[in-house]
Structure 1
Amino acid sequence: MTEEFRLEDLIDRVLLVETLNSTLIHFLLSSQVEGSIDPDRVDSLTQGLLRTRRWIEETTSTKGIPQSTSNILGLIVKRMAQLESLLPKLSQKAKDMEIGREAQEILTILEGGGKVTRKPAAQIASAEGEQEGVVSIVPPEPETPPEPYKKVEVEDDEWGMIGQTNRMINQYSKRCHTLLPTFWFEVLKEIHRYRSDSPHMSDAIEIPGQILVRIVKGLLTEAPGARLLQDLSKHRPPEKYLDPGEMERVERAVAKYFAGLEGILKGEEPNPEDKISDAQTAFDGFGWGGPELEKRLIKRINQRCQEAIQSAEQVTDAPRKVIFAETAKMLCKLQHAILAEPRLREILAQMKP
């Protein structure tokens, strides 16, 4: 049965379109400033655009809607559909670029920062009759600098955070749906798969690790997360593992986090102000999703991002400033990843009262 046209519904949908427009503009401008495009953010925008277009389409077919209004909304729907078809292509290009950058960074590390030009061997010839031959002196080749960091297969649970969090999830899995906590737990594990000889590596793992443990604990033991996950478990079957697409987003987010720390892990002089500015830009584009999603859990992630930026501004140690700033950027990227993945987004929608 076709719904009756209500002006209030139309106003809500038009405001939603305007919000989406401003989000797209911020995305374009911030991407231009940063000089890169975040594929998780693109996918998150795609999901929001898809749902908004469907709502506008529903409005065009409501009973009693003026024809002129329906025509205008139809044009908006058409333009949104065009954007919808372009964003996945942009996302794929951004993913290819991210993977390409990581591969190039690895090659650069392995090659010692680039190709080594071999100098011709110096030749010293003695005066005729003094020596019988020519002695070639070959200068030693420059040493390959050590890797600033590397990823290994096995996590090193130095601070016990992985074991503690795993036990917590297992304990609450009997009465809570645990896919969202598991997502953040996998991020924690992924961070612990990185190694470096840098003295800053402990902070690089421990600082985001503590925040991730806090996120998981908040979801399982504090209001409103605990109650929402308990209610969800009553009408949604258990889901305890991430699928390959979800896990790929986790791996890319953590890889980008460590790429952002490469300078301090190499021992280079950091520039905290630029890092904090980048983190603030990422935070300004934080992914809240549409009105159909449970915002209270998203707000908790937003608070953790804000706290990380505040810590970056307040601590006096420059490398720690960089670590807090990159942690905030990683959390923002992971929130976009959640909104981009249909299964995780669906969970947030199902929890909405």
Structure 2
Amino acid sequence: MSDSSSFHFEDLIDRLLLIVTLNSTLVHFLLSSQVEGSVDPDRVDSLTQGLLRTRKWMEEATTMKGIPPSTQNILTLIVKRLSQIESLLPKLSEKAKQAEVNPATEILSFLEGEGRTTPEAAGEAAAPSAQGEVIPLVGETAAATKPLEAYKKVDVEDDQFGLIGQTQRLIQQYSKRCHVLLPTFWLEVIREIHRYRSDSPYLGDVVELPARMLVKITKGLLTEAPGARLLQDLMKSRQQENYLSASEMERIERAVAKYYQGLEGVLKEQKVNINDKILEAQTALDGFGWGGPELEKRIIKRLNQQCVEALESAESASDQARQVIYAEITKLLCKLQHAILAEPRTREILAQMKP
């Protein structure tokens, strides 16, 4: 065995510090999930990836030359415990995905079923009025009983602000010299946000505010340091990838659906507790996914800064509707970061970017 794989106490300190960090991350995840009353499956998958790499790194230490037997026994026990947690997280993720309801699907299901009349309702409608009351027309009855829906999802996006086309052209322009999987990921988020419709006067802000932030993120990746250079270097070692997988798209769809679900009150012009929304956004930011030491942190830091700015806007905006929108944008960006860390290709790219 080479000297490079020999045991050093400095290595042990690094590994124990990583374990402490992972432990605090897991504790925060458990507590924040209890507070929110739900589990984010993307965050679970992100934690699983981080735990997997930590466990392997700890496992390597148990076979190092010169490691004291007592230290080896303790590390082996830690590895065993990590393996047990690792085996549970995928099961938790699957349950969380089943529980994370897509509100657009519910609305479409409702719309498909509207207009149907139950036998009981039909009987009541057909019954004559003993008091000679005026029986409303069928159309009037439907209009009176139809609940106001906040939004619905459609198949084709409406590029009402020109942001989709602008981002597509930018990616195409740089695709010959930059790897574009990460920019394409953000483009698909922009497209998904534009696939929702609503009669609410707030829909413009609901679509435009996050989309402009995502355009800024994409442009920064392609044209500014360090993203531009890192994506150019990546092209030298990795084949171009400009399409997302079904799994990557599914994470985006769930994240955007969750975003609109959080804005249902605003779109319905109902009163929303601003303090609760900001607290939720702060909790999401506290649990922001930085990933392990093997990942390029400068790219992640830029996204974290966007989350911080969104939260600051939520706290400072004079318009209450915009406060809620920015709070939900913060949560959306944090969830998408967990999605990036959870997906093998995007996480691998962040690892390959690191010098």
Q: TM-score range by the shorter chain?
A: over 0.9
Say whether 1:225 aligns with 2:227: yes
Change in 2 beyond 3 A, CA 1:156/1:290:
same
Per the TM alignment, residue 147 of structure 1 is displaced from its structure 2 partner at its CA by 2.3
Helix, strand or coil for the counterpart of 1:255? helix
Structure 1 residue corresponding to 2:167, chosen from 165, 168, 190: 165
SS of residue in 1 equivalent to 2:130:
strand
C-alpha distance in 1, partners of 2:190/2:111? 25
Matching residue within 345, 350, 353 for 2:352 = 350
- Give runs of aligned pairs for residues 18-167 of structure 1, distance below 5 A: 18-99=20-101, 103-104=105-106, 118=121, 120=124, 121=127, 123-124=129-130, 138=135, 140=141, 142-167=144-169
Deviates more, 1:101-110 or 1:183-192: 101-110
Q: State the distance in 1 between where 2:336 and 2:323 align.
A: 20
- After TM superposition, list the pairs within 5 Å mapping 1:167-246 onto structure 2: 167-246=169-248
- TM-score, normalisation: structure 2: 0.92
The answer to whether the aligner puts 1:7 opposite 2:9 as a matched pair is yes
For 1:144, the aligned partner's letter is K
Distance in 2 (alpha carbons) for counterparts of 1:178 and 1:233: 9
CA distance in 2, matches of 1:22, 1:242: 32
Aligned counterparts of 1:333 and 1:150: Cα–Cα separation in 2 = 21
Q: 1:313 to 1:334 in 2, by over 3 A?
A: same
Query: For residue 309 of structure 2, what is the aligned residue in structure 1?
Result: 307
- Structure 2 contact 102–254 (Cα < 8 Å) conserved: no
Higher fraction of helix: 2
Give the letter for the 2:186 counterpart: W
Indicate if the aligned counterparts of 2:107 and 2:149 stay in contact, CA closer than 8 A: no
Q: Is the 8 A contact 1:149 1:197 kept in 2?
A: yes
Q: How far does residue 111 in structure 1 lie from its aligned partner after superposition?
A: 7.2
- Percent identical across equivalent pairs? 65
Whose radius of gyration is greater, 1 or 2?
A: 1
Matching residue of 1:129: none
Distance in 2 (alpha carbons) for counterparts of 1:327 and 1:250: 14
Q: Rate the CA distance shift 1:324–1:100 in 2: closer, same or farther, 3 A.
A: closer
Q: Report the 3-state secondary structure (helix = DSSP H, G, I; strand = E; otherwise coil) of the residue aligned with 1:124.
A: coil
Cα contact 2:107–2:152 (8 A) shared by 1: no
User: Would the aligned equivalents of 1:157 and 1:192 in 2 still touch at CA under 8 Å?
Assistant: yes
Letter in 2 for 1:164: Q
Give the CA RMSD over aligned residues.
2.0
CA offsets, 1:40-83, max 9 Å, x none? 00000000000000000000000000000000000000000000
Which letter maps to 1:290?
G
Q: What TM-score does the superposition give when structure 1 sets the normalisation length?
A: 0.92
Aligned length: 342
**What is the Cα deviation at residue 26 of structure 1?**
0.1
- After superposition, the C-alpha distances for 1:321-353 in whole angstroms (9 at most, x for unaligned) are 000000000000000000000110000000001
CA contact (8 A) 2:52 2:86 kept: yes
Opposite residue 250 of structure 1, the aligned amino acid is I
The whole-number CA distance in structure 1 between the counterparts of 2:171 and 2:104 is: 32
- The alpha-carbon distance between structure 1 residues 62 and 239, as it changes in their structure 2 partners (threshold 3 A), is same
What amino acid sits opposite 2:177 in the alignment? R
User: Is the partner of 2:200 in helix, strand or coil?
Assistant: coil
Provide the rounded CA distance (Å) in 2 between the counterparts of 1:250 and 1:49.
23
Q: Distance in 1 between matches of 2:262 and 2:12?
A: 44
1:272 to partner: Cα distance: 1.5
Deviation at 1:196, TM superposition (A): 0.6
Does the aligned pair in 2 maintain the 1:122–1:137 contact within 8 Å? Answer: no
SS in 1 for 2:145: coil
The Cα offsets for residues 279-336 of structure 1, whole Å up to 9 and x where unpaired, read as 0000000000000000000000000000000001111111110000000000000000
Q: Secondary structure at the match of 1:64?
A: coil
Deviation string 1:165-186 (CA, Å, 9 cap, x unpaired) is: 1000000011000001110110
Equivalent of residue 265 in structure 1, options 264, 267, 282: 267
Which letter does structure 2 place at the counterpart of 1:17?
I
Mapped to 2, the partners of 1:287 and 1:62 lie a distance apart of 30
Please state whether the residue corresponding to 1:148 is helix, strand or coil.
coil
